[in-house]
Amino acid sequence: MRGKAGAAAVLCAVLVAGCGDDGDNSDATSPMQSAAAPAAPPGSSSASAGAAAKAPDFGASREIATGLNVPWGIGFLPGGDALVAERNTGRIVQVPAQGGAARQVYQVPGVQASGEGGLLGLAVSPNYAQDGYVYAYFTAANDNRIVRFKLGDGTPEVIFSGLAKAGIHNGGRIAFGPDGMLYVGAGDAGQRPKAQDPGSPNGKILRLAADGKPAPGNPTAGSPVYSLGHRNVQGFGWDSAGRMWAVEFGQDTFDEVNLIKPGANYGWPTVEGKGDTQGGKFTNPLVTWATDDASPSGAAIIGDTLYVAALRGERLWTVPLNGEQTGPPKAELTGKYGRLRTAVAAPDGSLWVSTSNRDGRGDPNDGDDRILRF
């Protein structure tokens, strides 16, 4: 067991006090709510099969890959193998579905890894068998951007650019939703007013078509913005009814789990955690955590449970989902593997979790960073 675990006490039946950032909270350093959503596409962060889905066994894990350099985004190919993005190297490696040596299959050009920036989110096209596209979110010389490419083609196509970059709050998670659209967690890049500015893509969850254009049916026609008032969203997924859930870094007090609805405003920077909704203008989170207990990055949904990878908290949070409500969160793996970056549902229904102990804020052990299967 690792030493710095932090308290894991649940403070309330639904709300738990808390927050965090990429391990340091300081600012210094359409219609998808359908009742029967289709299965999540390859590379999605959800494998929602209702209550029938089997819960992961946290007493038994298997190492899928070791010796990785800050694995951030994970997406699955149709055959079950995974593509993994390394934040600091700009490499994409392929990992066998049953585990084994990772091999480089692509080098994303133009990645500028600094602070929390670098090669971040990764998504495999839901039509990969036909179009062969892989999508990546990364920090470039002047901005954060999204590209798509084919593994056999060295030239990526920029499909979305102009997201403000910084050493912190770059967001970066991307995933295709049950509606086939590309969802993007865009941080506020340390520029707080952008989160409330509807004309800025920063501090938002974006919803894009596969070519990067604003998706049809967005709350404002012609705008990529799906929801606003976010500080730094790095994880989200969909439940079996198509509801979108996202986790978010707070600053000094509260990290959050939010039920995302189109056009909703989640309050940052006016509100951190649960607070005054100003007559319904802002939407409160359903779960909050204390700073030391979370810093939530990746998130996945399997069955009726949200799994949240915590960096500073060095644990995996499980959050029961019941319609639009949540049950008491429970901490698993506390301090056992160090900083946890990404949680993703694999095509076989297992849960994959990556560590982030080589990101400059962790305490790496032999074999770090690694991907574990539960």
Contact of 345 with 44, CB cutoff 8 Å: yes
pLDDT of residue 52: 60
Sign of CA dihedral 42, 47, 49, 53: positive
CA distance 77 to 113: 26
Evaluate if residue 14 carries a pLDDT over 60: no
Evaluate if residue 49 carries a pLDDT over 60: no
Evaluate if residue 71 carries a pLDDT over 60: yes
Choice among 46-50, 244-248, 311-315 with the minimum mean pLDDT: 46-50
CA distance 345 to 75: 10
SS3 305: strand
Evaluate if residue 218 carries a pLDDT over 80: yes
Q: Which residues of 194-226 are buried (b: 16+ CB within 10 A; e: fewer)?
A: bbbbeebbbbbbbbbebebebbeebbeeebbbb
Contact of 22 with 297, CB cutoff 8 Å: yes
CA distance 313 to 340: 8
Question: What are the pLDDT digits (tens) for 338-352?
Answer: 999 999 999 999 999
> Pick from 75, 67, 68, 117: which is nearest to 91 by CA?
68
pLDDT of residue 22: 79
pLDDT of residue 37: 37
Question: What are the pLDDT digits (tens) for 151-202?
Answer: 988 899 999 999 999 999 999 999 999 999 999 999 999 999 999 999 999 9
Domain locations in the chain?
46-373
pLDDT mean across residues, the chain = 90
Choice among 4-13, 16-25, 166-175, 335-344 with the minimum mean pLDDT: 4-13
The CATH number of the domain covering residues in 46-373:
2.120.10.30
Return the percentage of the chain with pLDDT > 70, whole number: 87
